[in-house]
Structure 1
């Protein structure tokens, strides 16, 4: 009786190679999805940072143009900038406070009176959530929620100009 040579090894090798190619393909698709999500989160983070910076700039403009050097504009601790939400999709909350209880007396004006300087702390928080405020927004369930906070210190004279 004559033995037949074995056959079928090529089929097993082809199945193994197909499984390896399928595994690599699945890994590449998952990595591509993760990379897309990371890029999206980074872009949202940058936009939120810029919205918070715009809130700081808005409050600084209010400090220099409202003519109220002894207090924050509107005497409010928190201002919601709803126009930002309509324009950019980010809600911006801005707060302003005087960091020292007493103004600093520094130098003299040409008429001999004391030149007072006030130091303000401006804090802006920007987020893309659906809540009424970004501050204390603990119930966020959106997977693409982003929040950025910026803080600035501004020195103003009693005349309403910035310190030099």
Structure 2
């Protein structure tokens, strides 16, 4: 016979298993929330960069609107129906201020629209030029926009805007 009486054993340990499972579930939820926060922050950063790029492209268009005759063509206004060579202006001042390089290009097409009669009774054709202004803003590392070398970067943003303006041969807006 043994000196100690045999007592019935109580089951134990279920609470430990439940606590471990509970901790694993809580850790999983924490990881998911962390990833969602990271994704949301990345989305907000991309949206902010996109809006800044759009504003930089708009600034390029407004730069041309300030003096479209000088900035879109080197030749004086005439009745010529030919577009200029289409030189692209890279506005590096925008990069210094906003971090975006803006490339602006212009083209135009001249149209004869009716005749104007002056005070002495002479008539001359009314020539209107329709200017098309293309502005592309990007935060790439090259000196041109669009920057194909920076496209794989996660923070690369590029936005383009197009505008038109109509001017008469004397530089006045069309009516």
Secondary structure of the residue aligned to 2:170 is: coil
Does structure 1 residue 30 correspond to structure 2 residue 40? no
Secondary structure of the residue aligned to 1:79 is: strand
In the TM superposition, what whole-angstrom CA distance separates every residue of 1:3-62 from its partner, at most 9, and x where no partner exists?
Answer: 312001111101000000000001001100110010000000000001001101111212
Does structure 1 residue 96 correspond to structure 2 residue 106? yes
Give the match for residue 13 of structure 2: 8
Give the match for residue 106 of structure 1: 113
Q: How many residues align?
A: 158
TM-score, normalising length: structure 1: 0.87
In the TM superposition, what whole-angstrom CA distance separates every residue of 1:97-146 from its partner, at most 9, and x where no partner exists?
Answer: 11x3xx211133341322100111110000011111013x2211432110
Larger radius of gyration: 2
Note the aligned Cα RMSD (angstroms).
2.1
Offset of residue 64 of structure 1 = 5.5
| Structure 1 contact 63–69 (Cα < 8 Å) conserved | no
In the TM superposition, what whole-angstrom CA distance separates every residue of 1:60-116 from its partner, at most 9, and x where no partner exists?
Answer: 212167794459xx9652001011111111100000011x3xx21113334132210
Once residues 51 and 31 of structure 1 are traced to their aligned partners in structure 2, the CA distance between those partners, rounded to angstroms, is: 30
Once residues 9 and 158 of structure 2 are traced to their aligned partners in structure 1, the CA distance between those partners, rounded to angstroms, is: 72
Give the match for residue 132 of structure 1: 143
TM-score, normalising length: structure 2: 0.82
Give the match for residue 95 of structure 2: 85
> For 2:170, which of 156, 159, 162 is the aligned residue?
159
Structure with the larger RCO, 1 or 2 (CA within 8 Å, 6+ apart): 1
